[in-house]
Amino acid sequence: MSINLETARTIVAAARKFGADKGFSPLTVVVLDAGGNVLAVEREDGSSNKRFEIAHGKAFGAISIGVGSRALMARAEQQPYFVSAAGAAIGGALIPVPGGVLVKADGATIGAVGISGDTSDNDEAAAVAGIEAAGLTPITG
């Protein structure tokens, strides 16, 4: 099972609404399916040029390794050489800071959400809000 586009759109909309309500800086929201492939992206006006690449790297790192990107940050603090090497190995960037959140349903990982634009903690909060708005379970670390 994997997130479908309609669910991805719900997540994007709810994450963006959460950010707007909280007064966050403009966000970029990326949703990946269970295979780690891009499903939906929106980069808000004023979110800088490469925010897609950063948000993607949070979500792609998370779904690639099977943990939220907050756990990848903890690993980077202890073993930076692992995270650097893993990033080179997975065929795409791995951004090891909060904001890459796994999406679970009935215990299975069905996708991941990556957000960039505000602080890493706020990015993660918006991802969690988006996932919960779709009735799914976020895993942050």
Give the binding site for a copy of itself (CB under 8 A): 1-2, 4-5, 9, 33-45, 47-54, 56-57, 63-66, 73, 76-77, 79-97, 109
Name 137's bridge partners: 104
Q: Which residues touch 120 (CB under 8 Å, ≥6 apart)?
A: 73, 97, 98, 99
Q: Which is nearer to a copy of itself, 65 or 125 (CB)?
A: 65
**21/48 with CB nearer a copy of itself:** 48
State whether residue 109 is helix, strand or coil.
strand
Beta-carbon neighbour count of residue 81 at 10 Å? 8
Q: Distance between CA 77 and CA 73 in Å, rounded?
A: 6
What's the closest the beta carbon of residue 126 comes to a copy of itself, in angstroms?
A: 16
Minimum gap (Å) between residue 51 Cβ and a copy of itself: 8
Q: What DSSP designation does 94 have?
A: -
22 or 37: CB nearest a copy of itself: 37
Q: How far is the CB of 24 from a copy of itself (least distance, A)?
A: 14
